[in-house]
Structure 1
Amino acid sequence: MAGKAPPQPAVDVEHREDDSLILHCPLPLGPVAQSLCHLFDEVTARGPDAAFMKQRDDDGQWRSITYGEAQRAANGLAQWLIDEGIGFGDCVAYLSEPSIEHGIAAIGIQRCGAAIAPVSPAYSLSSVDHAQLRQCVSSINAKVAIVDDADRFGPALHSISDLGIRIIARQGALDGLDIARWNDVIATQPGPEVAVRMAKIAPNDLARIIYTSGSTGSPKATPQSHANLTITIAQCEALNLLDFGGERPQLLEAMPFSHIMAGNFNFNNVIAAGGTIWIDDGKPTPALIGKTIRNLQDVSPHYAISVPLGLSMLCDAFEADAELNRKFFANLKFIGFGGALLAPSVKSRLESLSVQARGEAVPIYSFYGATEYLFGTLKYWTGGSSDTIGLPLPAIDLKLVPLGDRFEMRVKGPTLMPQSGYLGSPEASVELFDEEGFYGTGDAVRFADPDDPSAGLIFAGRLSEDFKLASGTYVQVEALRQNLLNACRDVLAEAVICGLNQEYPTALVWLKGADKEAAKSALTELIPKFNAAQGGSARQIGALFIQDAPPSFDAGEVTVKGNVAQRVVRERRSADIQAMYEGLDRPALLHFGPGGQRNGRS
């Protein structure tokens, strides 16, 4: 793959009298654009006929829009919004999945000075009461909401109809609701006011709203300025991640635009590089991964970022199809992952597959970030273990506060949300920042090599998920969960670690298959072996309670990212947790006791 390679890892470390550390990236940031829509216009001027986005239509064929066509549509949308009285500080919600229309809206809304607020489609389509949807749109006082299909989103649109929101839809109609047609909206003739609004855009003006995933409570509206978005682009350019040797990068995008990786990192950076976003109608699930595989028959991506589960599924497909494997790796500059730790076995498989496809291992980078500060660290070099989350990006400072054998990590920099905090949730914004303005991530880290800080940081768990046993020993929940799932990978789909103030940890678990008796038999063999290989009671599992009822989305047990919220599950299923420690005999319970050996109870 042509293009410059990333620089060597570099970090400056300041040691303070209170034993805390300040980590700073010494690499220069480089030029920062006025806004994403200004950058879009610069790219369009250089190649108006280049493909901006592609998406399959109802017949399965790829429909496409060029940069020039998207610019004209975005200008029409901006003028329509101006005519509706939308301006600086106002927010427009987008309720549907990634689409060509969603991409146009992201550019057009910002052109009139307003901010786009992508809302997870799950709040509209997977919810029954739509309480989280109402909270999302009311917390930002949304003036307009856009959907691709009004019929499909009918119940959701009716649930917010009393909030005085103007609705735009590409297709569909609903009784009792006045819906503006997308094609009519973007056909609006733009006047000079659009250019006037764009010229007035300032770095700290609101550009985008991204909602927190809900893993630590209800989703909260995180404001992101134009500078937040454009500085992220400058950070990637400083690391040479956007240098594709003059080629226009192609990206197959399966993640929702309501998430920072797709909605900020991928969307913004592909525009900066003048590339094409191919909307993937597949997902990293057994039911939908086949669509992703079909789409990869048509596009050879220049980079690929996914969750570890998605990369594991791709490995399965590539190992079964050498031609697909060759096509995937043909133009690939790097693979990225985030959201969870990448199993060493998956990393090894990806490296082996890339060697088979092109004779060399493609770099695998780790991304670590959050809605509140976008990206804090990035592992942009090869080598090291798969649990390394990298070093601070250019212009980002990390504060590491000693916490036993770990550090609590805090972040500060120009991509951090304002200290005023979440929109519409002042109570949730209290104590987000320390006295120096560092944001508390709630995560713990260690140095990959204590003698060499440039080797990067290792993720060491979520502090809010960790708890103490009755002995006072801390249980590092994420590490124990990952180890348990890896040891029982053929049996367990998910686990919630329990044991606050108890003698030993236990787990509520969900199975991969429907055969509960076969699973119990396998776990009876696996758990004692697992426990015997662990050191200390805080790393062992004393009981498992197999759950029949799946985690509830409406109850907050599942976040919009699809992750199980450990704290919420523990609160809602406290009776099952109590049963594990009371030694009750239930068909779905497996007891192993404090020593980790099977004790004979069912």
Structure 2
Amino acid sequence: MAGGQAAGVRLERCGHSPRRGHAPLQSVQEARGLRHPQGNGRDSVTPAIGTLTDLLHHYLTAHPKDQAVGWGAGDGSTCWLSTAELADRIRALSLALHSHGVKPGDRVVLFAENRWEWMVADFAILASGAACLPIHPGLSASQIAYILKDSAACLALVSTSQHLATFMEARRQAGDVEQVISFDDPGAADPVVMPLRHALEIGRAWGDTHPGIYRATRDAVSPGDLASLIYTSGTTGDPKGVMLTHRNLASNVSACSSVFDFRADDQALSFLPLCHVFERTVDYCYYLSGAAVIHIPDLAGLATAFTRFRPTVFAAVPRVYEKLYARILESVPPNRQGLFRWASKLALRLAALQVAGRGPGPWLALQRALADRLVYRRIRARMGGRLRFCNSGGAPLSADLAGFLLGAGIHVLEGYGLTETSPVIATNRYPDPRPGTVGRALPGVEISIAADGEILTRGPHVMDGYWHQPQKTRDMIDSDGWLHTGDIGSLDGDGYLSVTDRKKEILITAQGKNVAPQPLENALKRMPLISQAAIIGDRRPYLVALVAPDFNMLRRIVGKLGLENMPLRRQLDHESVQAAVAEEIATATESFAQHEQVRRFHLLDREFDADMDELTPTLKLKRRVILQHFEDIIEDLYSGHEAPHVLGS
């Protein structure tokens, strides 16, 4: 890859921009120290941290509180651990790892859903000098076995009995892992498996006989040490192990914390998989600020969690916001749909004014007050009624959806990054977010646009490389330290970054026309009847779409048509349902070019599923897998056998 910056491209620098890995973190901190952008009337400077163990020490000593980390109990109450209790558990577990021979630089697996024990285990691993190797809880035994073999992990922490069974099968295939610690009771006795409570007891006893070892090991961690080995989702082949150092992650946490107003009195809701670096980094920001964090194991109970825990901040992927909007649409009764359409259009106008730095005039302000009383306030109540702002990342967020939420008083700050960049490269922030962009570069981060439109980035956030894959590292990071993201984008005159698509996902039709599928898919997903969409058309004569309907909206339509007793497949193929979806596709794509129009579509009887390897952990489409799973349907669409699904000529 060509090094440096190509002629005629834009470069965005924000704050101090050192070459990757060569500047001490303190110099980055000295260049920041800005008032928090959301503004709460106080000056706040982000503490300088060089390692994640610095962050841990700061969190436990600077923000003591009785309610630090919580989770929902089955009886409806909330359980809490204090910072003192967390400190005891982290220290005990870290010492237990020492007692089992874990050494600085070793890789320790963390295979669990989002729960408070994940946080304790992560910090315990880091304090022992080892690297945390998080594994997504949805992976199969064979996928885990590949990671175990490639990483040579020595020990694992696993959550539920189901995950334990999967992991033990992976261990049988891969070997090497000597000890497994189970968060939940493992049930049948196994000399390899130890309950977490026993590990804590062992760690406390080890500390009594080895005084000072915990602090000495924790304090010996340096910025250049490996903090985490994260295996990417493998959308184009076997997953690669991304090496993130303490410097990588600590610099990103510090930079994010300098532009977001996370506070010690916040109550954060954490529900995305912590194995993904997006939620993990945001949670680190919560800890750095001293916020209380409530953990939710999955998205199934999210709607209830919003009203139960009433968060002030959270992070989510676009799919969460899309589902929220779909449920809002579904709940609007027929006699109020006109009111909702008016309020939606008004929200977009209000958002546009805010982006332009202008306030509404008297008449528009009156309309806003009325819409807030009748519509917007109810939407905010669905999210607990206390939300100050939320972050979005992992995939593109529709500009219209971001604008609607902003106009309704829900401040979604979209950002952009990769696992390889620890992860945040750019983000929107207050007081000047711009829906439809991913904001400006973080402090200490450089962004450049190459001649072919690819987004490049450089700074302390750029990974140390791929585990045992030097050639792939060189393919990703050029000789001048620029990481080539594989995404296509542009920078405007104010430094706001827009991301168009994945470089490798650009479709080239049989006529030689280039088509970016993501904008089309995002436009389709904004339609009430469409939950998910995958655009197909590479080396094909025209575009087709695989469409997963919003099944709640579908039930409403088939009920009106009197089709509720039909089998699902017949409902989906009914001419009235087909016509309704065809109309939505035509509406969604009317502003796209002729060669970007969808000619045929197929309504799927299920959504794309991460458990079937069709989605990444952040719910992005795995196109290669989808092409394989729906090969027959796709061929039928191109063979003309699906005549009822034809759009236009």
TM superposition score category, shorter chain reference? 0.7 to 0.9
Distance 2:78 2:611 in 1: 34
Name the residue aligned to 1:357: none
Q: Does 1:523 align with 2:567?
A: no
Per residue, is there more helix in 1 or in 2? 2
TM-score normalized with structure 1 length: 0.83
Name the residue aligned to 1:7: none
The percentage of aligned residue pairs carrying the same residue is: 21
Distance 1:151 1:527, change over 3 A: closer
More displaced stretch, 19-28 vs 421-430 = 421-430
Tell me which amino acid in the other structure corresponds to 1:148.
S
Name the residue aligned to 1:34: 50
Structure 1 segments, 4+ long, off by >6 Å, are: 317-321
Distance 2:376 2:429 in 1: 29
Q: Please give the per-residue CA displacement for 1:373-408, whole angstroms capped at 9, x wherever unaligned.
A: 0111111135564220111111111121123xxx21
Q: Does 1:23 align with 2:12?
A: yes
Structure of higher RCO (CA pairs closer than 8 Å, 6+ residues apart): 2
Secondary structure of 2:56's counterpart equals: helix
Per residue, is there more strand in 1 or in 2? 1
Following TM superposition, by how much is the alpha carbon of 1:551 offset from its aligned partner in structure 2, in angstroms?
4.3
Name the residue aligned to 2:157: 146
Distance 1:43 1:327, change over 3 A: farther
Secondary structure of 1:54's counterpart equals: strand
Q: For structure 2, list consecutive stretches of 5 or more residues without a partner in the other structure.
A: 17-30, 34-46, 332-373, 552-567
Secondary structure of 1:278's counterpart equals: strand
Q: For structure 1, list consecutive stretches of 5 or more residues without a partner in the other structure.
A: 1-14, 355-361, 598-602
Distance 1:568 1:436, change over 3 A: farther
Name the residue aligned to 2:484: 440
Following TM superposition, by how much is the alpha carbon of 1:109 offset from its aligned partner in structure 2, in angstroms?
0.9
Distance 1:553 1:43 in 2: 34
Matches within 5 A, 1:309-458: 309-314=319-324, 316=327, 325=380, 331-354=386-409, 363-373=411-421, 374-382=423-431, 385-403=434-452, 407-418=453-464, 421-425=465-469, 428-429=472-473, 431-447=475-491, 449=492, 452-454=493-495, 456-458=496-498
Following TM superposition, by how much is the alpha carbon of 1:138 offset from its aligned partner in structure 2, in angstroms?
2.6
Tell me which amino acid in the other structure corresponds to 2:149.
S
Contact preservation (8 Å) 1:44, 1:68: yes
Matches within 5 A, 1:113-262: 113-123=129-139, 127=140, 130-150=141-161, 153-161=164-172, 163-165=175-177, 166-170=179-183, 171-174=185-188, 176=190, 178-187=192-201, 188-189=203-204, 190=207, 191-239=211-259, 241-242=260-261, 244=263, 247-262=264-279
Following TM superposition, by how much is the alpha carbon of 1:251 offset from its aligned partner in structure 2, in angstroms?
0.3
Tell me which amino acid in the other structure corresponds to 1:248.
D
Following TM superposition, by how much is the alpha carbon of 1:230 offset from its aligned partner in structure 2, in angstroms?
1.3
Contact preservation (8 Å) 2:231, 2:241: yes
More displaced stretch, 202-211 vs 375-384 = 375-384
Distance 2:265 2:52 in 1: 18
Tell me which amino acid in the other structure corresponds to 1:263.
R
Distance 2:638 2:161 in 1: 50
Distance 1:413 1:167, change over 3 A: same
When the two chains are superposed, the root-mean-square deviation of aligned CA atoms in Å is: 2.9
Distance 2:525 2:100 in 1: 52
Distance 1:158 1:335 in 2: 39
Distance 1:546 1:434, change over 3 A: same
Distance 1:17 1:526, change over 3 A: closer
Distance 1:446 1:321, change over 3 A: closer
Following TM superposition, by how much is the alpha carbon of 1:176 offset from its aligned partner in structure 2, in angstroms?
4.8
Tell me which amino acid in the other structure corresponds to 2:160.
D
Matches within 5 A, 1:293-304: 293-304=303-314
More displaced stretch, 381-390 vs 75-84 = 381-390
Tell me which amino acid in the other structure corresponds to 1:508.
L
Name the residue aligned to 1:358: none
TM-score normalized with structure 2 length: 0.77
